[in-house]
Amino acid sequence: MHVLILGGTTEARRLAETLVAELPAGARVTSSLAGRVASPKLPPGEVRVGGFGGADGLAAWLRTHRVSALIDATHPFAETISFNAAAAAAAAHVPLLALRRPGWVPAEGDTWHPVGSLAEAAEVLPGLGQRVFLTTGRMGLAAFAGLDRLWFLMRSVDAPDAPHPPRMEVLLDRGPFTLEGERELIRRHRIDVVVTKDSGGAATAPKLAAAREAGIPVVVVRRPPVPGGVSVAGTPQEALAWLRAQGGSQA
């Protein structure tokens, strides 16, 4: 058995840890990282870094390396690789599972403004606040580059490239984050609106609670759908159960 994990997320690392510990001796677990983060946390098992060259390149890799199961554990907003994975798995006749952490659900007291894209988020921002806590990552900052009257605190793992908002302070940090820390960021920088993607999970959720406590609005970018026909698991244990069902006695 050879399992390829399209990873880079916390769930992908946990899945690799689970599979390396639970699968029988001789099974291979390979994690593929996109290479966009300068110093990624490497999972156990084999690791490859870099793209495949689209769906055709991934399908060729699956065949060449005799992959018996493909698990897409990329970020919920990594839409291109998810659709490439679906096309490649179909072409190579390899079972495919999408591992997706559950999305966030608004709680009592939240003031959320759901939008369909970063461009829509930029459109609604001027009517909601002047000092923005932007937590959508360093990719896609061009959508906010024209908002020269707003001030942004942008948090990401690595420094962003241009174009980006002209009035912006960059905070380099990696989750998980604490509620106390998020409260302090909002207080110290006088944040009056938060922008986030519906990434789900607990590592970055404290900002939502801190915004609720401060009574400030949150612009939430909805996640794209999983490609049609692809099975979905919410946890690494669910993914392991799916893998065992696919592999029979191999797993």
Taking the chain (251 residues) in runs of 10, the rounded mean pLDDT of each run is: 91 93 91 75 88 95 97 91 96 96 92 96 97 92 96 92 94 91 97 95 89 97 91 92 75 51
Single-letter amino acid code for the residue at 170: V
- Phi/psi class of residue 12: alpha, beta or left (left: φ > 0; alpha: ψ in -120 to 50)? alpha
Length of the chain in terms of residues written: 251
The crossing angle, in degrees rounded to 10, of helices 179-188 and 206-214 is 50
The pTM assigned to this predicted structure is: 0.79
Question: pLDDT at position 25, please?
Answer: 86
Question: pLDDT at position 175, please?
Answer: 82
**What ranges make up the beta strands (E) of the chain?**
2-6, 28-33, 46-49, 69-72, 96-99, 112-115, 131-134, 151-156, 168-172, 193-197, 218-221, 231-233
Question: pLDDT at position 129, please?
Answer: 96
Write down all domains in the chain, each with its CATH number in brackets.
2-102+224-250 (3.40.50.720), 112-221 (3.40.50.720)
